[in-house]
Structure 1
């Protein structure tokens, strides 16, 4: 399935016909449907009917892919591993941060086999930046000398984190954010309450807006922003403890924080708000007294913390450090 805002990109891609590359890198903001686009392409490439416009959806190949058991399709995602490797009883499972070299070695065996249906062998890798170094190097060898009929679709939210040698072996297709009106029309069909502010907070990405709008996450975000809006009353230790007890991910909290900082800086420099228009009053009151240089330095610190949010961390300690740093960054300027 393609989303409405993807139709023109799809038509431009499929018009290339047999000139499609053996490795395609789909890039763009999270939450715009890159994975859906990649799956649609994989289905089209394996469809056994005419693929002049789109996969037919009714042939055996389409049915197998939709059911997740097409013999000529593989999807690589971060592995699921035991949360407690020492426990023998009912160990919980959690997603890893990485796609491993063993996964890529298994993939390399798959792509060198003959296709079961006599056509292509298609691989979807997402997110591609989750390839660890060993896995990336193992994949590179196959991308450099791909077997006939093997096609790779890489999906990446942060494509610059990929090895330059992998990027150079792929043709990049940058998928854009949808136009605001188109995104809001789609969100209206999904019955999303307060769609305009949710879309703004998600940076214009409709699927991210849906994901962020569940009641529990929305309440936690609003409570967090209310604390940021009154830094003199903010207790970093108490708030860090609460976030930790709520099992908030470091990535989510740094995302909220970086968006708040962006709007504070944008208000001071351009009198505009991108992410939190419903927080305009609080942002405006706070932005008046801030030192923009100090604010941007702290924003860089938050972005750096977000880079490593997928690594094993003491989340509570990270929250404490970020919140103490926030208090320092939003100290009123010394007017004397």
Structure 2
């Protein structure tokens, strides 16, 4: 089911399941539970109980059982595929590693699904998450289907960065913006999961509860704290050594760059507006750095961090990316003259 902070969004989406458009686009920050809401909506549409009150899936009919088992014949989930990896270091066949893209082959495989009659005399539902993971070819192929949607076919797109989607795709969807949850319900949920220091984790994740829980993983937390401690004490920061360590830890480069981007955001926020969002537990360190830096130089550096984040999943040398960003950081926080 969806998360408790999405009650209002659920009521809006489920007000009349029979009058939904052929394509929905759920947008918002990563880690707030958009996909769970989309899956609940798909399950409700495929529920065969016939109970329309509250529009919630019953969880007992055949349709719900098949959906929960992951094999409902009228539902498809499109997520980044798995690329074939080469041989591993020991000469054996390497395991498949997750790809960051949804490919045109995945979209083409939808053709038979969306153009034939449903198996259960209802809708055929396709969930695409995250939609911005479609490569250009895949996005163009989907656009053709959205322009002439088959009868009773519904597409639900979930996106963390909807402005990266083709404008023509966005224009053919009804967009629902999902806000970051209020702090109280998010903290209550995290504490119910047994997470200690939930407020700090939630702040580090920008208010996104699922991201906060994921980043509370011990290894990730240790790696993040180590990097932030070095950023907070730039005289002790050695870009080459730090980049080598981060590369050796096999971290997701997007996550590492996000940690850096949040730190830079707080430096700028405290310097320009006396506000701190992501690292309130490091306020003193942020304040000491922010008091003497050049805001214009920092904002230029923030642009380069955003560019690096957009390219984080391209086949680049992660170590070199880290080195460039860390050397750039030291230049960006040089005291203003």
Query: Could you list the per-position Cα deviations for residues 118-166 of structure 1 after superposition, in whole angstroms to 9, with x for gaps in the alignment?
Result: 1110000011001111111111111111111100000100001110111
Is 1:205 equivalent to 2:208 in the alignment? yes
Q: Which residue of 2 aligns with 1:239?
A: 242
Q: Which residue of 2 aligns with 1:118?
A: 121
Is 1:192 equivalent to 2:164 in the alignment? no
Query: 1:92 Cα deviation (Å)?
Result: 1.5
Query: Could you list the per-position Cα deviations for residues 214-271 of structure 1 after superposition, in whole angstroms to 9, with x for gaps in the alignment?
Result: 1111111111011111112211101100111111222111100110011111111121
Is 1:58 equivalent to 2:60 in the alignment? yes
Q: Which residue of 1 aligns with 2:261?
A: 258
Give the 3-state SS of the residue equivalent to 1:99 in structure 2: coil
Whole-Å separation in 2 of the counterparts to 1:271 and 1:23: 42
Give the root-mean-square deviation of aligned CA atoms: 1.4
Query: 1:45 Cα deviation (Å)?
Result: 0.6
Q: Does structure 2 conserve the Cα–Cα contact (< 8 Å) formed by 1:129 and 1:161?
A: yes
Q: Does structure 1 conserve the Cα–Cα contact (< 8 Å) formed by 2:266 and 2:276?
A: yes
Query: 1:293 Cα deviation (Å)?
Result: 0.4
When residues 322 and 210 of structure 1 are mapped into structure 2, their CA distance, relative to the original with a 3 A threshold, is same
Is 1:3 equivalent to 2:6 in the alignment? no
User: Where do residues 104-253 of structure 1 align in structure 2 (5 Å cutoff)?
Assistant: 104-253=107-256
Give the 3-state SS of the residue equivalent to 1:124 in structure 2: strand
TM-score normalized with structure 1 length: 0.97
Q: Which residue of 1 aligns with 2:34?
A: 34
Query: 1:89 Cα deviation (Å)?
Result: 4.4
Whole-Å separation in 2 of the counterparts to 1:76 and 1:310: 18
User: Where do residues 313-324 of structure 1 align in structure 2 (5 Å cutoff)?
Assistant: 313-324=316-327
Whole-Å separation in 2 of the counterparts to 1:85 and 1:162: 34
Is 1:16 equivalent to 2:25 in the alignment? no
Q: Does structure 2 conserve the Cα–Cα contact (< 8 Å) formed by 1:229 and 1:282?
A: yes
When residues 103 and 85 of structure 1 are mapped into structure 2, their CA distance, relative to the original with a 3 A threshold, is farther
Give the 3-state SS of the residue equivalent to 2:121 in structure 1: coil
Whole-Å separation in 1 of the counterparts to 2:259 and 2:266: 11
Whole-Å separation in 2 of the counterparts to 1:89 and 1:38: 39
Give the 3-state SS of the residue equivalent to 2:235 in structure 1: coil
Whole-Å separation in 1 of the counterparts to 2:72 and 2:92: 33
Q: Which runs of 4+ in 1 moved over 6 A?
A: 85-88
Whole-Å separation in 2 of the counterparts to 1:225 and 1:89: 37
Which runs of no fewer than 5 residues in structure 1 stay unpaired?
none
Q: Does structure 1 conserve the Cα–Cα contact (< 8 Å) formed by 2:301 and 2:332?
A: yes
Whole-Å separation in 1 of the counterparts to 2:75 and 2:87: 30
Q: Which residue of 1 aligns with 2:102?
A: 99
Query: 1:47 Cα deviation (Å)?
Result: 0.5
Whole-Å separation in 2 of the counterparts to 1:52 and 1:34: 23
Q: Which residue of 2 aligns with 1:284?
A: 287
Which runs of no fewer than 5 residues in structure 2 stay unpaired?
none
Query: 1:201 Cα deviation (Å)?
Result: 0.7
Q: Which residue of 1 aligns with 2:76?
A: 74
Give the 3-state SS of the residue equivalent to 2:109 in structure 1: helix
Whole-Å separation in 2 of the counterparts to 1:307 and 1:85: 28
